[in-house]
């Protein structure tokens, strides 16, 4: 079976490398040709246009930047698609975009499936990491054996169109917030004369990541009247973070916004509630 892969960025090129190492025949295209031709010594067949790259391919994989680039490249590839071709899109896109493309390509007689990933380049090369998928159960069942070879774990999310896109964005939102929070943690550590390796040593013993499932349950439970840490006290500590860093001339990116959110809830009379009350309006 011939496969096509459009988009030879860090993920795409490593997915293709893994496919070639397994003996697959892969047609590739990239907007900047050099990234595609770099795979020729490994056995990839490089084409100058998306339409030529997808000719004869039963499955077309895409890893691009965003909704606009996916729509543009698929429009350019359309004349070359063979009847019944399956399009599998690994791009991080909007939920609405994934839903619209699923229907639009179905109307044209093709199958479009959104399968975004939590992977880095090494994961794509090794077949590790996580791949999300949702939509028509028959389609998911048909392509699952193919996708399972590309990832450490395929995570089926049910029949809801666009759910994979939504969960990918939710996961990335957490990663962005997590990294920005660590950045502020490092800034505070510097202000206190502590090295990041000491933070790592502390977290290896006291691992806050283990608290995540319980934290989600507590935040979404709706009852904040039995505090384990009162909002007033959390706000006091947050101000210490801010003052400590300001005293050394540094700046915190996330903590001032959190302090403002805490002040909002304190002004509403929730100061003696559990500090997780700051999520009260986010739980629907």
Q: Which domains does the chain have, with CATH numbers?
A: 2-161 (3.40.50.720), 195-282 (1.10.1040.10)
pLDDT, mean of each 10-residue run, the chain (284 residues): 96 98 97 96 98 98 98 98 97 98 97 98 97 98 97 98 98 96 96 93 92 92 94 98 97 97 98 97 88
Whether the full predicted model's pTM is greater than 0.85, yes or no, is yes
Alpha carbon separation from 82 to 4, 70, 201 (Å, rounded): 12, 18, 55
Digit-coded pLDDT (tens) for 154-178? 999 999 999 999 999 999 999 999 9
- In this prediction, residue 61 carries a pLDDT of 98
- Is residue 154 within 8 Å of residue 133, measured between CB atoms? yes
Query: Cβ–Cβ contacts within 10 Å for residue 100, how many?
Result: 17
- In this prediction, residue 284 carries a pLDDT of 80
- In this prediction, residue 6 carries a pLDDT of 98
Digit-coded pLDDT (tens) for 191-203? 999 998 899 999 9
- Is residue 149 within 8 Å of residue 127, measured between CB atoms? yes
Three-state SS for 125? Answer: helix
């Amino acid at each position: 079976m011939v496969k096509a892969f459009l988009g030879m960025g860090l993920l795409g090129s490593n997915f293709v490398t893994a496919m070639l190492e397994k003996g697959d025949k892969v047609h590739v295209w990239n907007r900047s040709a050099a990234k595609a031709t770099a795979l020729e010594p490994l056995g990839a067949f490089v084409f100058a246009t998306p339409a030529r790259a997808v000719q004869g391919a039963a499955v077309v994989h895409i890893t691009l930047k965003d909704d606009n680039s996916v729509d543009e490249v698929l429009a350019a590839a359309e004349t070359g698609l063979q009847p019944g071709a399956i399009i599998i899109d690994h791009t991080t896109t909007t939920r609405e975009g994934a839903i619209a493309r699923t229907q639009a390509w179905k109307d044209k007689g093709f199958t479009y499936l959104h399968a975004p990933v939590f992977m880095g380049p090494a994961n794509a090369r090794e077949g590790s990491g996580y791949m999300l998928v949702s939509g028509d159960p028959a389609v998911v069942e048909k392509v699952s054996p193919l996708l399972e070879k590309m990832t450490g774990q395929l995570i089926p999310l049910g029949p809801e169109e666009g759910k994979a896109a939504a969960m990918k964005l939710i996961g990335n939102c957490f990663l962005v917030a997590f990294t920005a929070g660590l950045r502020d943690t490092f800034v505070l550590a510097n202000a206190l004369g502590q090295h990041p390796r000491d933070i790592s040593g502390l977290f290896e013993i006291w691992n806050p990541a283990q608290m995540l499932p319980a934290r989600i349950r507590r935040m979404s439970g709706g009852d904040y009247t039995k505090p384990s840490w009162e909002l007033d006290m959390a706000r006091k500590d947050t101000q210490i973070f801010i003052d400590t860093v300001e005293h050394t001339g540094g700046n915190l990116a996330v903590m001032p916004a959190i302090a403002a959110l805490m002040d909002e809830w304190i002004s509403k009379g929730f100061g003696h509630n559990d500090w997780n009350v700051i999520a009260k309006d986010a739980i629907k």
